[in-house]
Amino acid sequence: MLFNSYIFIFTFLPIVFFGFFRIGKHSHALASLWLATASLFFYGWWDVRYVSLLLGSVVFNYGAGYLIGHSVARQSGSQSKILLAGAITVNLVLLVYFKYINFLADNLNHFAGTSLSIGEVILPLGISFFTFTQIAFLVDTCQGKAKEFNFVHYLLFVTYFPHLIAGPVLHHTEMMPQFAKRNVCHINWDNVSVGLSIFVLGLAKKVFIADTLADFSTPIFSAVAAGGQPMLFEAWISALAYTLQLYFDFSAYSDMAIGLSLMFNVRLPMNFNSPYKATSIIEFWRRWHITLSRFLRDYLYIPLGGSRNGKSRRYLNLMITMLLGGLWHGAGWTYVIWGGLHGLYLLVNHAWRNLKERMGWSDGGRLANLGAGALTFIAVVVGWVFFRADSFSSAMAMLYGMLGINGISLPGSLEGQLGKYFLHHDKVVFDQLIPLASLKTRKALTFLIIGFVIAWGLPNMRQLFANYHSTCEDSENAEQVHKADTFRSSRWFRVLRWRPSRLQGAFYGVLFFILLSCMASASKSEFLYFQF
């Protein structure tokens, strides 16, 4: 079930919302069970067969966590570590089978000359997210950080529908205490109004921007996958369109998840914080998919040794972490290359920082920051080419086009330009270009400019709703967050910040009506992170 669908907005959400608070008047435990059951229904809407897989994973990990917790309480360290290793192994075996078995078989057949056939294995939605969430819970239990073992709260912690399909990757310490609060199942109209507003903004990013940008990126990448060689202009249009499409698609989901959760009085952690404003790759990863970066740091990089054993070992640990982080996104060598590329970026970034520190160089002024931001953005765009391409050769064809090696084209009709370069291929390739038939260069550039203005020039969701503590971080560290946010001290904050006024109510109401009208004529597209 998609957040950007009528069935979710007008059927599932109202029933779950009013049912939760109605039941909550009589029983907190039953209200939590209602929300957990609704979350399982939400997951089963995609394919009911995999609800049993999700439930089996939850029951197994709850039982494993319970046994580990009791071993820790008895101070049986060796037994708890053995149980932890066994439970993590079971989780990883399950993940490898569903997500990577065909990838492993194909590579074995290629390199060893075998003919191993696994058959079609369907990737369950959200398996990476609910697996990582539960591994973190098991590790924290072994370390004595997780001590609550209420099964309904644990079930809700794992299956909670706003985050289940595409994150964020949750920590038990962030969520389970919130579910346990008695007032969580009593309606708070301030949270409802703020949550709905955030949801509408996220929906607008998805419908108006992300899905429109897909019309510019997808046909060119598809043509390149079929053997086309894009020239300079088409290659950059497609690469930048995908760069912004992924940005707004993931930002939209993150906002909608936070808004939906806030309506139920539960604050999710921040998972997206204007990453294209970063002036270094290190900063980029502190802003992009924040909870995944945190998971990789806490449960992979630090256990590998982190920076405790010298610079060489630190760089090796960084590279291993990023390679595995790339593989987490998908079973393909392009994802591994993307992860390795970002690992290399991080090594260079850390080496540069160390050199600056030794030489006593300053960070420079505004011009230096602009240059650093531009360099970071270009590096990220190059990485996204591998992330999006279906193969290494397709990615290289796109990069050759971006370098002008395939020729330089002048702005004009995208259809006309692409037709010249791809008509010599078979009809399948040409048919893949048909969606561009009515798209002019002016429209593509207009949406790219709009995207850049929003991504770089406007405040993000967290800043717009800074006074209302919409995320875990804002709620727990409000004073520090506010001091660190220079936007709050600017004149734009007084103009753009969300406030409960009739004018803003009218604005969000009209925007929501327009979005619903647009959804009627547009095809319902999944969020890009659904496939990971």
Q: What is the mean pLDDT of the chain?
A: 86
Same domain? 82 vs 67: yes
**Does the pLDDT at position 439 exceed 50?**
no
d(CA 316, CA 340): 11
Please indicate, yes or no, if residue 63 is contained in any of the structural domains: yes
d(CA 124, CA 54): 9
Residue 37's CB is within 10 A of a number of other CB atoms, namely: 16
Does 180 share its domain with 250?
no
Q: What is the pLDDT of residues 289-347, one digit of tens each?
A: 999 999 999 999 999 998 888 888 999 999 999 999 999 998 899 999 999 999 999 99
Same domain, yes or no: 61 and 177: yes
Give the residue-averaged pLDDT of 32-53. 93
Among 137, 172, 187, identify where a domain stops: 187
pLDDT digits (tens, 9 = 90+) for 387-432: 999 999 999 999 999 999 888 765 544 444 444 444 444 444 444 4
Last residue of a domain, one of 168, 187, 206: 187
User: Are 71 and 215 in a shared domain?
Assistant: no
pTM: 0.89
> Catalytic one among 289, 329, 342, 350?
329
* pLDDT score recorded for residue 437: 39
Find, among 87, 89, 90, the residue nearest to 64 by Cα: 87
> Is residue 406 domain-shared with residue 519, that is, in the same domain?
yes
- Give the pLDDT of residue 486: 56
**Which domain covers residue 172, as residue numbers?**
6-187
Question: Taken in order 272, 275, 281, 282, is the CA torsion positive or negative?
Answer: negative
In a domain, 347, yes or no: no
Instruction: Let me know whether 93 and 207 are in one domain.
Output: no
Decide if 35 contacts 156 (C-beta within 8 A).
yes
What pLDDT does 435 receive?
Answer: 42
pLDDT bracket for residue 24 (50, 70, 90): very high
Residues 497 and 519 in one domain: yes
What is the mean pLDDT of the segment spanning 459-483? 73
Rounded (10°) angle between helices 28-44 and 51-73: 130
Is residue 172 annotated as part of the catalytic site, yes or no?
A: no
Task: Name residue, tokens 């490898």.
Answer: 96
Co-location of 119 and 245 in the same domain: no
- 22 shares its domain with 140: yes
Question: For position 425, what pLDDT does the model report?
Answer: 44
pLDDT, one tens digit per residue, over 162-176 is 998 887 988 888 888
Quick check: 521 pLDDT over 90?
no
Range with the largest mean pLDDT of 9-23, 408-422, 431-445:
9-23
352 in a structural domain: no
- Torsion sign, CA atoms 386, 391, 396, 399: negative
Token pair for residue 430? 């040409």
**Residue-level pLDDT at 426:** 43
Q: Tell me what pLDDT residue 488 has.
A: 58
DSSP alpha helix (H) spans, 113-210: 127-142, 151-159, 161-164, 172-180, 189-204
Longest dimension (CA), the chain: 73
> CA-CA distance, 336 to 240, in Å (whole number)?
21
What pLDDT is stored for residue 466 in this prediction?
A: 84
Asked if residue 199 and residue 163 are part of one domain, the reply reads: no
Tell me how crowded residue 1 is: count the other CB atoms within 10 A of its CB. Answer: 16
Is the peptide bond between 168 and the residue preceding it cis, with omega within 30 degrees of 0?
yes
Single-letter amino acid, residue 474: D
332 domain-assigned: no
| Cα distance between residue 29 and residue 182, in whole Å | 9
Domain count, the chain: 2
Q: 58, 74, 71, 61: which is closest to 138 by C-alpha?
A: 61
Domain end call among 135, 165, 187:
187
